[in-house]
Amino acid sequence: MTLDNGRSRGGAASMTGAAMLEDVRLVDHHCHSVVRGPLDRAGFELLATEACQAAPPGCTTLDSQLGFAVRRWCAPLLGLAPHAPADDYLAERARLGPAEVNRRLLSAANVATFLVDTGFRAGELLTPAELAAPAGSAAGEVVRLEAVAERVAEGGASAAGFAAAYADALAAATASAHAVKSVLAYRHGLAIAPEPPSAAEVRAAAGRWLRRGPGAALARLDDPVLLRHLLWAGVERGLPVQIHTGFGDSDLDLAGSDPALLTGFLRAVQGRGTPIMLLHCYPYHRQAGYLAQVFPHVYLDVGLAVNHVGARATAVIAESLELAPFHKVLYSSDAFGLPELHVLGAELFRRGLTEVLGGWVAAGSWSAPDAERVAWMIGAGNAERVYGLRG
């Protein structure tokens, strides 16, 4: 399903709207679930920004590309006119209630498979199965490497036993998972030594960490040796390793999240055969495109960015298709909390990619069949191949 109906569809050269991906059910290879309960305006505003605080007095986080895109693309799904005022939108949203809003919006995203990161605030969110239900989608799990370590620590591991306990816990946690994920960018930054730490280094670092004792001190693993150990454990596990790169919330040091900082690590793991999935990447998506071209095991998406840049999604998508081979680019929404972000991810991606590829067809640079094939690859085919979703 796409959200406007008035367009004609006369071949790729004249495509508008989301035409090129209209019939493609997307694979969202990295997202989160949505909140179960009702949201007041303050709660909604905070889920519509990467800031951790409200906007300055007299201002609203919805005066943003993302806020405008919600009013443009989601308001009609609640029965309102496009661009409905934010107050009207939130009032109608409250009147319909979270179950109905989730149902309508998640269906509209038209996603075949959600791969869901379950490692962040999962208690407030629908389960992956509940997320997938409205549109008859499939759901798979993405396991956060750091969250598994934090559970191991809370469970009372010893310094000497940490590495083995972590390996066991990771194996158990990922028994039916599709991928693992690292938030190294948030906890330390991506500038790390390329090789895995030694067993002795891991033991010493685990000792330092575990001595902090239970509770908040253990709740946030930020030791660079252990973070690096986890990343290598993820590589050894053999599932695709998703790595947060580029912007995120205010916890992050943006200059340290440039994926180019991973170059040594990427070289070191190249022989293992484990796909490395660079998530988000903005504003370093051109750097990510270079890595995806020169390293056979490196992939990228511009999820999260597409939602946040709204009307600029077309421009960012175009930039992501410069150096990266087309078999290396994937779709994700990185939606968190709001079902609106699943709609925007899918709609802005479908429309943006159609505009970009359709423009190249119209200019004679690409053939229409090539464009249709690449649109399918990025929207679904590459993820099906890398994650074995057809197996």
Residues lying near its own copies in the complex (CB under 8 A) are found at 4, 49-56, 58-61, 63-65, 68-69, 72, 82-83, 247, 249-250, 253-255, 258, 260-261, 263-264, 267, 282-283, 286-287, 290-291, 293-297, 308-312, 315-316, 318-319, 321-327, 360, 363-367, 370, 374, 377, 385
Among residues 152 and 302, whose Cβ is nearest to its own copies?
Answer: 302
Among residues 55 and 167, whose Cβ is nearest to its own copies?
Answer: 55
| Residues listed for the chain | 391
Spatial CB neighbours of 185, under 8 Å, sequence gap ≥ 6:
243, 244, 245, 246, 248, 252, 256, 257
Name the percent of the chain in helix, strand, coil, to the closest 5.
55, 10, 35
Hunting for tokens 């799904």 — which residue is that? Answer: 77
CB of residue 304 vs its own copies: minimum separation in angstroms? 10
How far apart are alpha carbons 286 and 291 in whole angstroms?
9
Among residues 154 and 249, whose Cβ is nearest to its own copies?
Answer: 249
Among residues 173 and 374, whose Cβ is nearest to its own copies?
Answer: 374
User: Residue 301: enclosing H or E segment and its boundaries?
Assistant: strand 298-301
**Residue 346's closest CA among 131, 105, 142, 116?**
105
> What one-character DSSP code corresponds to residue 323?
S
Spatial CB neighbours of 141, under 8 Å, sequence gap ≥ 6:
115, 116, 118, 128, 176, 177, 178
CB of residue 253 vs its own copies: minimum separation in angstroms? 5
CB of residue 108 vs its own copies: minimum separation in angstroms? 17
Among residues 65 and 127, whose Cβ is nearest to its own copies?
Answer: 65
Among residues 135 and 383, whose Cβ is nearest to its own copies?
Answer: 383
Among residues 153 and 252, whose Cβ is nearest to its own copies?
Answer: 252
Q: Where are the alpha helices (DSSP H) in the chain?
A: 41-47, 65-69, 86-96, 98-109, 128-132, 145-154, 162-173, 184-187, 199-210, 216-219, 224-237, 263-269, 285-294, 305-309, 313-320, 339-362, 368-376, 382-387
CB of residue 354 vs its own copies: minimum separation in angstroms? 13
CB of residue 274 vs its own copies: minimum separation in angstroms? 12
CB of residue 87 vs its own copies: minimum separation in angstroms? 14
CB of residue 215 vs its own copies: minimum separation in angstroms? 24
C-alpha 314: how far from its chain's center? Answer: 18
Spatial CB neighbours of 361, under 8 Å, sequence gap ≥ 6:
11, 12, 13, 15, 367, 368, 371
**Residue 347's closest CA among 310, 382, 384?**
310
> What one-character DSSP code corresponds to residue 367?
-
How far apart are alpha carbons 55 and 29 in whole angstroms?
31
Among residues 41 and 327, whose Cβ is nearest to its own copies?
Answer: 327
CB of residue 324 vs its own copies: minimum separation in angstroms? 8
CB of residue 124 vs its own copies: minimum separation in angstroms? 21
CB of residue 81 vs its own copies: minimum separation in angstroms? 9
Among residues 151 and 286, whose Cβ is nearest to its own copies?
Answer: 286
CB distance 111 to 344 below 8 Å:
no
Among residues 56 and 136, whose Cβ is nearest to its own copies?
Answer: 56
